Chain A
Amino acid sequence: MTRPTPSTDPATPEQRTPLLAAYGLRKSFGLTQALSTASLSMEEGEIVALMGPSGSGKSTFLHCLAGVVRPDAGRVDYAGTDLARAPDARLSALRRTEFGFLFQFGQLVPELSCLENVALPLRLNGRRRRTAEREAARLMERLDVGDVARKRPGECSGGQGQRVAAARALVTRPRVIFADEPTGSLDSLNGEKVLRLLTDTARESGASVLLVTHEPRVAAYSDREVVVRDGRTPEIGGGR
């Protein structure tokens, strides 16, 4: 690849700084090498699908990108911080304030109402109950689950629960949303609703989304895809 000369248009994609980028990640669990050379770069506001067969390392990659798991080698740049080396306190602060998470199973607290679940990330960030719940209620309306606000997660359908979880992932207005097979357990109509609302809301707020999926119809909601195979991705430029 030829390097752009300094006089070229500053808006060319090669010269924009990515919001989140990983270079040459490696990660093993015991004898299992989950990632061998995984790299990825995301722009602000981009929706990227991370695809690949089961066991190819997608979830491990997502966890490394989100500062949940530390890679054995490689670098994860997020807004001037290398997440592979940042102190734990900095990582958990980032996860609380700038990242949102949406997983397939078991993310809602069963003892809390749906509204309290959605408001929880804001409460953990020190917001007052009133303002946190007002914001939570607004998002729940937006995601078409305003009517289950007072119910417990156990009283909701699978599709409603997933949308409540999506509201919770979005409530802090994160800059990056990490979604790992978010529709894996749903029938296709519900799944599509969650995806539509998730990607629409992310686009409105300018959030980036990393969407892990092995399903092409889910990946079709992204702007582009990166395929992981045996812990590897195609190389990207910019790593040192």
Chain B
Amino acid sequence: MSSLGPAFLGLLETRPQHGYDLKRAYDEHFATKSPLAYGQVYATLSRLLKNGLVEVAATETGSGPERKRYAVTDAGVTDVEQWLGRPESPEPYLQSTLYTKVVLALLTGRPAEEILDVQRAEHLQQMRALTRRKADGDLGDQLICDHALFHLEADLRWLDLTAARLDELSGEVRDR
């Protein structure tokens, strides 16, 4: 996940912390599906360390394994600031598997409408799950779910538009 590094830097900017606490904070704020794996946490930290974006603020040796406390460096703060200021490139969504399926169905004389219907049901099922999750969640959950819901809704609008133009598309595909 490309935002993991900057997210760690930002979380460390709030206060220096151990890898374990960092993972907990990340999961709390951002985990959408499954919690971060420890392997991922430590791989990310060692990369940030190597690039001079974080440093080890303290090492505690006790009965258990050695515990390092990490802090963000000035370079790290600059890095997260630049990342925040850079707009994400909007997804062009120009390569659609669904479009390929529809055209292939038309080319091979299979029912393209069924493909669209099945996909519509699948999308709505996912939207129901998100709507339920939204109902039980806090504001953060609601915003995360709404983001996904709006995307799925856009897909559904495309499905309806395509369904309405299947005859036309079918003619075009066969003439090509």
Contacts and interface: CB of A to CB of B under 8 A. Distances in A.
* Residues of B in contact with A, size category: 10 to 19
B135 A219 contact: no
B124 interface: yes
Interface string B114-156: 0001001101100110110001000000000000011011001
A53 B149 contact: no
A201 interface: no
A156 B109 CA distance: 56
B149 A219 contact: no
A55 to B, nearest CB: 12
DSSP class of B's interface residues: helix, strand, loop or mixed? helix
Contacts of B164: 53
Nearest to B164: A53
Contact of A227 (B120, B130, B150, B153): B120
Interface in A68-82: none
Interface string B99-125: 000000000000000000100110110
Greatest chain B CB density within 10 A among A53, A196, A217, A222 is at A217
Given A53-B160, A53-B164, A227-B117, A216 B124 contact: yes
B149 A220 contact: yes
* Residues of A in contact with B, size category: 10 to 19
Contact of A217 (B117, B120, B121, B149): B149
A221 interface: yes
Interface of A: 53, 196, 215-217, 219-223, 225, 227, 229
9 contacts: A53-B160, A217-B149, A217-B150, A217-B153, A219-B124, A220-B124, A220-B127, A225-B121, A229-B163
Given A215-B153, A216-B127, A217-B150, 12 more contacts: A53-B160, A216-B152, A216-B156, A217-B149, A217-B153, A220-B127, A220-B131, A220-B149, A221-B131, A225-B124, A227-B117, A227-B120
